[in-house]
Structure 1
Amino acid sequence: MTDFKGFYDNILASFASHPAIIYGDEVITYRELDERTNRLAHAFLDLGVKRGENIGIAEYNTPAFLETVAASWKIIARAVTLNFKFKEWELKHVIEDAGMTTVVFNEDIADRMINLRPELPGVRNYIIIGERRVEGMHNYHELVNSKPATRPQVPWESFRPDDIVVLMYTGGTTGYPKGVIYTHDQVLSAPLEAMIRNFAGGLADLAKAPRHVFEGIEKTLRIPGTARVLPWILSRPATRKALAAMGKRAGPFILKSPDPVIRTMLRGMAKLTGGKVRVLLASPMMHAWAYNHALIGMIGGFTSIMLPSKSFDVEEMIQAIEKHRANVLVAVGDGQCRPFADALDRAAAEGRRYDLSSLLVILSSGMALSVDVKRRLLDHLPQLVILDVLASTEGHYISVTPYTAADRELEKTVFRVTDMVKVITEDGREARPGEIGEVAVAREHQGSSGYYRDPEKTARTYRTVGGKTYIFTGDMATVDEKGRIHLIGRGSGCINTGGEKVFPEEVEEVINRHPAVELSGVTSVPHPRWGEAITAVIQLKPGASATDEEIISWCKQHLADYKAPKYVLFVDELPRLITGKVHYREIRKMVHEKYERGEIPDSGA
């Protein structure tokens, strides 16, 4: 049986001379990553971290983030993502919910952690990444540099099949952040199987890609003849059938193979792909989309490219693609791809050209990728394959739609019903064409186990239909006659703004605490970059006054900035149901009518 810790140790050894992380101008090989994470693992042990404990990590996309993850694996503990944008109460909720005993965090949130410290008796160790020093807290770099680079020996057993290896917090589909569980066996099988199965489903479309795509793959792999042979291979029904079968068997193969077989396989992978697969993580790793691909990179021997800036800078991203020859870009829909397309348009208009010939794939999820943006990117980069991915923290890769320059129609993203992905109606059956239901993915092979210490929320999201357990995503959709899934919105009312999930209730709760506010209702309007822009409709108390700026500032004082409204509308009286609750349907109707009339701008912050 394959042990995850042993598997990862074999990755570090097989890819030792190849780059694991590129951060600005710093290149860290797998050998160096091994030594750095050994030092941090020793530090964790000396601080009293025990088997199975949760270590919080609130950090930008830096080597320290992945070092914390890998070091936790080495001592049979686990790193748990923390959103560095969270306010104090939000951080407190996740830290307490996960039962974290150690928190590693960027100095930018040090004041929040200092204020929270008296309220977190369960946290024994605070480790600051950066230059700041705080009494009673450890400095990350000083701590790491003081420890040996030898591999630590732990006095307890390694990971068991049902041990939690990855715990990611997500806004998810049913309320406040919840910890999504991936066990030892799921980590070794779920990502690989989901990717293979979805790749198999898109082979027919990829086989029709223009020659630039295959020439780019040949140049990356440095295997002569790839561009000539690969289209033929992809077009064969036997290839699709073999890959689909592999998608069901890859996990059991890895889990049951003896260590010598795994070592031989990884050495072969290192010769074929070592240093060649370079993934630029444009979105923050504190979210599952980038974090999953960072994890896939760590256990697949890929190179993860990180941008030093603390906020998204499209020019920095383009320069990194050029300089480091990135061939995969992990991005969040229009939020990051629209500025990318705009930058390419500007360069073309000015007679400039970027050398982005290495970029072969854009993986997009988290928010919609519009037809206009797809077309512009493919016009500028004909070697590109855009993979529009329906994904979730709970279900990993759910469905993938590929687009290339050969596609004449780049319709609004649709996905497909398969044996793993269904649209289920309220009464528990598969939706017929035209019916509305909720997208659900079978947990078998590619899903998580449930929510950490929360059986009630687990039962609501992980449900059995027809004898099979499905993960219900919260995405509402219809199915057409061709078996294509058309997304229409979030059933939970969750707002997706720039890939961030925001629940109207938590914004309303803050707004309603403002001394001038009688009642509020929160909805959204379309936004060209962020997908949805949070819009607050407010009824003030008699005789009270407030401005847009005051409400937005108030929200930013009490919530993460991205949860604050971008637009604020004041009304004499909010529409309500007979029960006195806000009538959301009427609010949405009113707001969208104003939007259509141009009374709410279609662009903004």
Structure 2
Amino acid sequence: MPAEKPWFAHYEKGVPHHLEVPPVPLHRLLEASADRFPDRVAVEFLGKQTTFRELLDQVRRFATALQALGVRRGDRVAIMLPNSPQFLIAFYGASMAGAVAVNTSPLYVARELAHQMVDSEAETLIMLDQFFPRYQEVAGEIPVKRVIVTGIQDALPFPKNLLYPLREKLKKRWTTVKPQSHVHFLPQLLARHSPNPARVDFAPDDVALLQYTGGTTGVPKGAMLSHRNLVSNTYQCRAWMRDLIDGQEVVLGAIPFFHVYGMTVAMNLSVMMGAALVLVPNPRDLKMLLGIIQKRRPTVFPAVPTLYNAINNHPDTPQYDLSSIRACISGSAPLPIETAHKFKEITRGANLVEGYGLTETSPVTHVNPIYGENRTGTIGLPLPGVDARVVDQDGHELPPGEIGELAVSGPNVMLGYWRNETETARALRSLEGGATWLMTGDMATMDQDGYFRIVDRKKDLIIAGGYNIYPREVEEVLYAHPAVLEAAVVGVPDPYRGETVKAFLVLRPGTTATAEEISAFCRERLSPYKVPRQVEFRSELPKTAVGKILRRALLESSST
């Protein structure tokens, strides 16, 4: 065993040291499972079940429809949908048509949507009907030529599909989208087109997905994830979860698929295994979530610490049987020790382990052994095929125990940032040995056994409820307020979200503003999770000698 990879000695029995990943496009995972398990339930959504055979048929019809609408190989297709059967149809259909999917958060306000559409040059946008007004606000500013609309009712069983619109109209939440030459409706497209898309020749390194990440600069960048990247990381996660049985598992799809963590660990992994993917439309509705777990008996439940913690502390949890859950990988934020212990207790044995990854790595690079030694406070061991090291500022590898920057390499590392050579050159470097390494920006240590520990996150990054929030983006909105002279945003501890956003403001002389006014201003311009939950007014902000605001000093003063 090579001495430079001590983690191999701590792999669970049956987990391979190396993987042979087939050079296939992402949608081939669905085709393979439809061949093996045609009549197995692939997706369940609020009572309606879709088999692998039926899902593949819908995906093929949608791919045909995209090609008929003019979508060609390499074109960007933006997907703005919640966890729903339509998301899988759109995502795998775009892949089959040869397009590049652009994951677009349903939480985006019009300004955020416009930025992403312009940057990605997406000409096709697939969205939920209730999001359509946001598109209309910026329709004249973006390159989108065609919009494909679907509604929750399209995925519901009878009679829910008839009752849902009536309920939404009574609550005055219904959005009517009128037919237009550039607006198309998903059910009609699927009914009109055959399941025979034109053949597209794929190369493993073709871009499959643009996954946007803010980075430490706060300027959103599209990480170019290839078919090889996404297929590799799905295989890597599958190899780590050695006791799962293809065609027999039930995966709870509660984390959003527009986030690459949910896309890989819930959606792609489920499709690859031939598992039944039970979709949770609103994981914040904990009573619904608990009811789904008790009824559908999921065996795999990937999520974020805040969701596990919410289940642990919900007063109704003891009334539900959660014992079917066997394996859970927690990502997107540090996992508190108490959360893991309590979750194992209430589920009567579920192993909840912490992992680590980045958008740029498709995303998982490290996970603690699910049944082996789970070292508390660490992110675990590199997955099969992932190489990792801790390096100094010159890129030289540091010995165990020393703090440096975490660098990772492997088939799941992105191609680069979309049309951003400067940021790509900063992130991807050739270190000793010649391989391409991703510089994560996270400070870490590795112990003698190959377990890694994150010492500090990327500078200034805020992670609230599993979502990445970049202070600069929030600050730019705050600076747009007419009363704000100076603004700084930091993450402060929050018992539920892990961290929450706090804004420090200096007002212009002669002006006034309240915390409520500031929050209302931000809510019109930012996704809800980015809006400052705390606002503190000050006469001045601490600065360096050259006038740079010291966020760290504000954070320290806020905690004293």
Q: TM-score, normalised by structure 2?
A: 0.85
Q: Structure 1 stretch 185-194 or stretch 299-308: which is displaced more?
A: 185-194
Q: Residue 375 of structure 1 contacts residue 410 of structure 1 at CA under 8 Å; is this kept in 2?
A: no
The equivalent of 1:355 in structure 2 is 321
Alignment pair present for 1:437 and 2:404: yes
Task: Give the C-alpha shift of residue 8 in structure 1.
Answer: 4.1
State how far apart, in whole Å, the 1-side matches of 2:112 and 2:438 are: 26
The equivalent of 1:411 in structure 2 is 376
Task: Give the C-alpha shift of residue 52 in structure 1.
Answer: 2.1
Alignment pair present for 1:509 and 2:476: yes
Q: Structure 1 stretch 179-188 or stretch 11-20: which is displaced more?
A: 179-188
Of the three residues 341, 359, 364, the one matched with 2:312 is 341
Task: Give the C-alpha shift of residue 439 in structure 1.
Answer: 1.7
Deviation digits for residues 551-594 of structure 1 (CA, Å, limit 9, x no counterpart): 1111111111111111111111111222222122321221121x
Of the three residues 142, 145, 148, the one matched with 1:127 is 148
Q: TM-score, normalised by structure 1?
A: 0.79
State how far apart, in whole Å, the 2-side matches of 1:485 and 1:548 are: 41
* Paired amino acid for 2:176: R
Distance of aligned partners of 1:134 and 1:374 in 2 relative to their CA distance in 1, 3 Å threshold:
same
Task: Give the C-alpha shift of residue 485 in structure 1.
Answer: 2.7
The equivalent of 2:49 in structure 1 is 27
The equivalent of 1:203 in structure 2 is none
Task: Give the C-alpha shift of residue 29 in structure 1.
Answer: 0.3
Task: Give the C-alpha shift of residue 462 in structure 1.
Answer: 1.3
* Paired amino acid for 2:476: E
Alignment pair present for 1:169 and 2:212: yes
Deviation digits for residues 44-67 of structure 1 (CA, Å, limit 9, x no counterpart): 122111222111100111101110
* Paired amino acid for 1:397: V
1:158-307 paired onto structure 2 within 5 Å: 158-193=201-236, 195-196=238-239, 273-274=246-247, 276-293=248-265, 294-307=267-280
1:83-102 paired onto structure 2 within 5 Å: 83-102=105-124
State how far apart, in whole Å, the 1-side matches of 2:420 and 2:275 are: 34
State how far apart, in whole Å, the 2-side matches of 1:291 and 1:188 are: 11
The equivalent of 2:530 in structure 1 is 563
The equivalent of 1:453 in structure 2 is 419
State how far apart, in whole Å, the 2-side matches of 1:433 and 1:105 are: 48
The equivalent of 1:600 in structure 2 is none
Q: Residue 40 of structure 1 contacts residue 143 of structure 1 at CA under 8 Å; is this kept in 2?
A: no
**Which runs of no fewer than 5 residues in structure 1 stay unpaired?**
201-216, 222-271, 594-605
State how far apart, in whole Å, the 1-side matches of 2:325 and 2:50 are: 21
Task: Give the C-alpha shift of residue 93 in structure 1.
Answer: 1.6
The equivalent of 2:292 in structure 1 is 320
Distance of aligned partners of 1:193 and 1:289 in 2 relative to their CA distance in 1, 3 Å threshold:
closer
Task: Tell me the number of residue pairs that the alignment of Structure 1 and Structure 2 aligns.
Answer: 509
* Paired amino acid for 1:533: T
Q: Residue 368 of structure 1 contacts residue 413 of structure 1 at CA under 8 Å; is this kept in 2?
A: no
Distance of aligned partners of 1:307 and 1:376 in 2 relative to their CA distance in 1, 3 Å threshold:
same
The equivalent of 1:520 in structure 2 is 487
The equivalent of 2:546 in structure 1 is 579
The equivalent of 2:462 in structure 1 is 495
Task: Give the C-alpha shift of residue 429 in structure 1.
Answer: 2.0
Task: Give the C-alpha shift of residue 490 in structure 1.
Answer: 2.2
Deviation digits for residues 421-454 of structure 1 (CA, Å, limit 9, x no counterpart): 2222222222345543222211x33322222222
Distance of aligned partners of 1:302 and 1:341 in 2 relative to their CA distance in 1, 3 Å threshold:
same
Instruction: Give 1 or 2: higher helix fraction.
Output: 1
State how far apart, in whole Å, the 2-side matches of 1:379 and 1:427 are: 45
State how far apart, in whole Å, the 2-side matches of 1:562 and 1:505 are: 15
The alignment yields a C-alpha RMSD, in angstroms, of: 2.5
* Paired amino acid for 2:209: V
Once the two structures are aligned, what percentage of the paired residues are identical? 29
The equivalent of 1:61 in structure 2 is 83
State how far apart, in whole Å, the 2-side matches of 1:103 and 1:16 are: 30
Task: Give the C-alpha shift of residue 14 in structure 1.
Answer: 2.1
Task: Give the C-alpha shift of residue 85 in structure 1.
Answer: 1.2
